[in-house]
Chains A and B, each alone.
Chain A
Amino acid sequence: MLTVRDLCVDITGSDGRRVRVVDGIAFTLGKGETLGVVGESGSGKSMLALSIMGLLPAVAHASGEILLQAENLLTLSEQQLCGVRGKRIGMIFQEPMTALNPAQRVGTQIAEGLIVHAGMSRSDARARAIELLERVHVPQAKQRVDAFPHELSGGQRQRIGIAIALALRPDLLIADEPTTALDVTVQKEILDIFDELVADLGMALIFISHDIGVIGRIADRTLVMLNGKEMEQGPTVRVLRQPSADYTRTLLAAMPRRTRGHLVAGSLEKQP
């Protein structure tokens, strides 16, 4: 469904110098599959996500191919990209507080895409927003739909972010460090929701994180990045058990020993 070939992103600085932040990344992703992208801060993970969405800053330039069902997203105009974003690709952000407009009720924010893209009436969009809130396990969805973001907890706000991304039932979901700002118990609940979405709705998921433990919990395949380059790619279990790159080994070694043991054992159990 999604094929990325030789993707490079260059950023031109104010002094005119170009810096390559994503360098020759390639992968394929099928329906119902989850790709985990892991790497330290500044490794180019978020730039990779933004280039797929066509939301790179003006100073960045992407080259290569991003084929979404055989259509190269890098050749589309801004207007054509507007049709793709939200409708076929949804995105979930890291910080649930800044991902929601504090001046708007959450129901209005979920309904935005439904009204703009799907041409739904306000009442239909509201009813669909309540359905989506139930889908992401927000308690008392009928009341919560009229809440402002500051009235919700961090975990609930992230669920709202997922509901917004899900509104138009996109084929591909990109989650950019969606659990980083959450505490561990809420993290688990959010990961469970992602599991459900991939299993029930057959969405493809790109899950970006700097936490290899979270990636091991959710991803079928893992791409390890450093300085914009691919260090290693393969089935998550293989990457965790038999890492071929030194950097992956460093990432694994940085985890507490017991967590690492549990993670590798847990991943093995997921193998058919």
Chain B
Amino acid sequence: MTQASLPAIDAAPRAWFSGHLRLATGGLITFLFVAVALLALVWTPENPNRLRILQKLKEPLTSGLLGTDHLGRDVLSMLMAGAFNSLSISALSVIVGMSIGTALGVAAAARRGLFEAVVMRVCDAMFAFPPILSAIMVGALLGPGALTAILAIGTFMVPVFARVTRGAALQIWAREYVLAARMAGRSGVSITAVHVIPNIASHIIIQAAIQLALAILTEAGLSFLGLGVPPPTASWGRMLADSQTYLQLAPWLALAPGLAIAFAVLGLNLLGDGLRDLLDPRRRMSV
């Protein structure tokens, strides 16, 4: 009995530490990612679109920090410019998905009945389509480009946010202070704005961080397939696609964007997990 309880007592500070370590590591990686993306707006070591055929396929440190690609473009500069494109498209997709999904989720929780049933069944139907497949369909309709990527990824995020916010909002609607607000004469819209959304904000923030990581991965996938931003705009996914031919000759061309994508996703996932531990009272108690 005593022996069984000892590890639990020891585990508490360790769990607390690992929770905060996740948040700090995730926050640091995400901060670096955002800082590099913003820096690329004002400064890159070279113009990422400048072709220098004579300097093509140079190894790292021989020409620029990360070498050059098959057209002699500086890989580090392309990586930095790609970070901004990746972040901006992913962030806009999440904003689109979050706004529409949250609005539908809270409206479904507030109105219930047929409206809720229709919204949730449409969400189920949307879940049945893999995001890349939806993106190819949207791309076929609108043509490749940033807008296509934003719409495709954003549309895929709508049902995720709708489900999360509906579930959380239903819990808030069952609280007595909502009943008290109805008694005070507040309308459904007003209750949603004043009582429901502030109390489910932590769920939305956590989901946004997790979905941002997924959006970066999906955006890279779309660019890899040629459905992302058109050339010559730098993009991590296209850098990976271009590097395939030279994988044995110049492996750094694949390693640089591959590691960048992996670190960005890792950072955002850690941040999402850390935020969940910090903001979710049930997990906080268990920690």
Contact = CB atoms under 8 A, between A and B. Distances in A.
B14 interface: no
Contacts of A86: 183-185
B41 to A, nearest CB: 36
Nearest to A101: B177
Interface in A41-65: 53, 55, 58
Given A103-B198, A103-B199, A112 B181 contact: yes
B214 to A, nearest CB: 28
Interface stretch (A3-11, A92-100, A261-269): A92-100
A1 interface: no
Contact of A85 (B113, B185, B194): B185
Contact of A112 (B176, B179, B186): B186
A19 to B, nearest CB: 20
Contacts of B112: 58
Interface residues of A, number: 28
Contacts of B177: 98-101, 109
Contacts of A85: 182-185
A94 B177 CA distance: 11
B125 interface: no
A61 B194 CA distance: 29
A235 interface: no
A94 B113 CA distance: 28
A101 B184 CA distance: 14
Contact of B179 (A55, A82, A103, A116): A55
Nearest to A164: B180
A117 interface: yes
A228 interface: no
A60 to B, nearest CB: 14
Contacts of B182: 55, 85
Interface string B173-214: 001110111111110000000110011000000000000000
**Majority secondary structure of chain B interface residues (helix, strand, loop or mixed):** helix
Given A98-B175, A102-B199, A91 B185 contact: no
A113 B113 contact: no
Contacts of B176: 93-95, 98-99
A202 interface: no
A93 B185 contact: no
> Interface size class for chain B?
10 to 19
Nearest to A83: B185
B179 A93 contact: yes
Nearest to A170: B183
A95 B179 CA distance: 13
Contact of B184 (A103, A117, A161): A117
Contacts of B199: 101-103
A53 B183 contact: yes
- Chain A CB count within 10 A is highest, among B182, B184, B198, for B184
Contact of B180 (A87, A89, A93, A95): A93
Contacts of B184: 85-86, 112-113, 116-117
B76 to A, nearest CB: 45
Given A98-B176, A101-B177, A109-B177, A91 B186 contact: no
B195 A117 contact: no
A95 B183 CA distance: 17
A116 B185 contact: yes
A109 B176 CA distance: 13
A116 B175 contact: no
Contacts of A101: 175, 177, 194-195, 198-199
Given A93-B176, A100-B177, A55 B183 contact: yes
B1 to A, nearest CB: 30
B155 to A, nearest CB: 31
Interface of A: 53, 55, 58, 82-83, 85-87, 89-91, 93-95, 98-104, 109, 112-113, 116-117, 161, 164
27 contacts: A53-B183, A83-B185, A85-B182, A86-B183, A86-B184, A89-B183, A91-B179, A91-B183, A93-B180, A95-B176, A98-B175, A98-B176, A99-B176, A99-B177, A99-B180, A100-B177, A101-B175, A101-B195, A103-B195, A104-B194, A104-B198, A109-B177, A112-B184, A112-B186, A113-B184, A113-B185, A116-B185
Interface of B: 112-113, 175-177, 179-186, 194-195, 198-199
Given A83-B185, A86-B184, A112-B184, 6 more contacts: A53-B183, A89-B183, A93-B176, A101-B194, A104-B195, A104-B198
Closest 6 CB pairs of A and B: A113-B184, A93-B176, A99-B176, A85-B183, A103-B198, A82-B185
